[in-house]
């Protein structure tokens, strides 16, 4: 008997700009944490990594509206009920981020936004000041510095949870997440066999390059305005 049901297949889910953003952000977070713990002149690199993270966050915010299908925010809205159903064994909402993964993305982007935002006004009261520290009072700078220092542990906790979630998806759900974020393609089951692939051609890559250049220029202008 002939079976006409659609079979599992691979489709492009993560476009190249999204993948490069993901791994660049991971490298910058590691570099930022290592450099600030080294102290001394290495703190200068902590600032540089922070500027790079800010530029990447600006890029990702814009890419969430004009990027390919699965990179757009509307494709993975945060829903506590959907996340709870997923934890109880329910299915995801498509080839992109699962409901649980959506919360992880939003939480980490928010925490990183707070971290780089407060870092612009922070001070160590010894030799390093954020580039915008002169725009606020000493009391405000000290308060933002305290938030910056505490929020660092929030970022670390979210990164650890992110890694734990990757392991959980791989071992419990049998869904490898690392390889698709490297190669871009993901195997989808019959329930999502009709899902279209994400656009990932020269037009999307040129658009991403322009957005990244604008984001980097914006950060450069911001951090040098009081120099």
Q: pLDDT by residue (tens digit) across 152-167?
A: 999 999 999 888 888 8
pLDDT higher than 80, residue 89: no
Instruction: Write out pLDDT tens, residues 197-220.
Output: 999 999 999 999 999 999 999 999
Question: Cα 27 from chain centroid?
Answer: 11
Per the CB < 8 A criterion, the answer to whether 133 and 50 are in contact is: no
Instruction: Write out pLDDT tens, residues 7-44.
Output: 567 899 999 999 999 999 999 999 999 999 998 889 99
pLDDT higher than 60, residue 1: no
Helices 138-171 and 16-38 meet at what angle, rounded to 10? 120
User: pLDDT band for position 141 (50/70/90)?
Assistant: very high
Per the CB < 8 A criterion, the answer to whether 191 and 23 are in contact is: no
CA distance 188 to 38: 44
pLDDT higher than 80, residue 148: yes
Domain ranges within the chain, ordered by starting residue: 29-183+197-224
Question: Cα 8 from chain centroid?
Answer: 28
Give the CA-trace dihedral at 97, 99, 105, 110, to 10 degrees.
150
pTM of the model: 0.90
Dihedral sign for Cα 134, 29, 13, 93, please.
negative
Q: Which residues is 129 bridged to in the sheet? A: 123
């Amino acid at each position: 008997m002939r079976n006409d049901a659609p079979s599992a297949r691979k489709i492009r889910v993560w476009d190249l700009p999204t993948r490069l953003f993901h791994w660049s952000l991971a490298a910058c977070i590691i570099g930022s944490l290592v450099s600030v713990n080294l102290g001394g002149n290495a703190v200068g690199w902590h600032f540089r990594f922070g500027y790079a993270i800010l530029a990447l966050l600006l890029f990702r915010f814009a890419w969430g509206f004009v990027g390919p299908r699965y990179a757009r925010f509307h494709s993975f809205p945060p829903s506590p009920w959907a996340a709870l159903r997923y934890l109880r064994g329910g299915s995801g909402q498509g080839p992109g981020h699962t409901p649980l993964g959506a919360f992880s993305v939003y939480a980490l982007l928010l925490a990183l936004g707070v971290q780089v935002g407060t870092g612009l006004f922070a001070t160590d009261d010894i030799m390093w000041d954020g580039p915008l520290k002169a725009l606020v009072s000493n009391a405000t700078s000290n308060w933002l510095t305290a938030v910056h220092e505490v929020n660092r542990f929030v970022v670390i906790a979210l990164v650890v949870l992110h890694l734990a979630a990757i392991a959980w998806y791989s071992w419990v759900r049998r869904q490898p997440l690392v390889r698709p974020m490297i190669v871009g393609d993901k195997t989808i089951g019959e329930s999502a066999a009709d899902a279209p692939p994400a656009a990932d051609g020269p037009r999307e890559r040129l658009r991403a390059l322009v957005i990244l250049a604008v984001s980097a220029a914006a950060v450069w202008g911001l951090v040098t305005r009081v120099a």
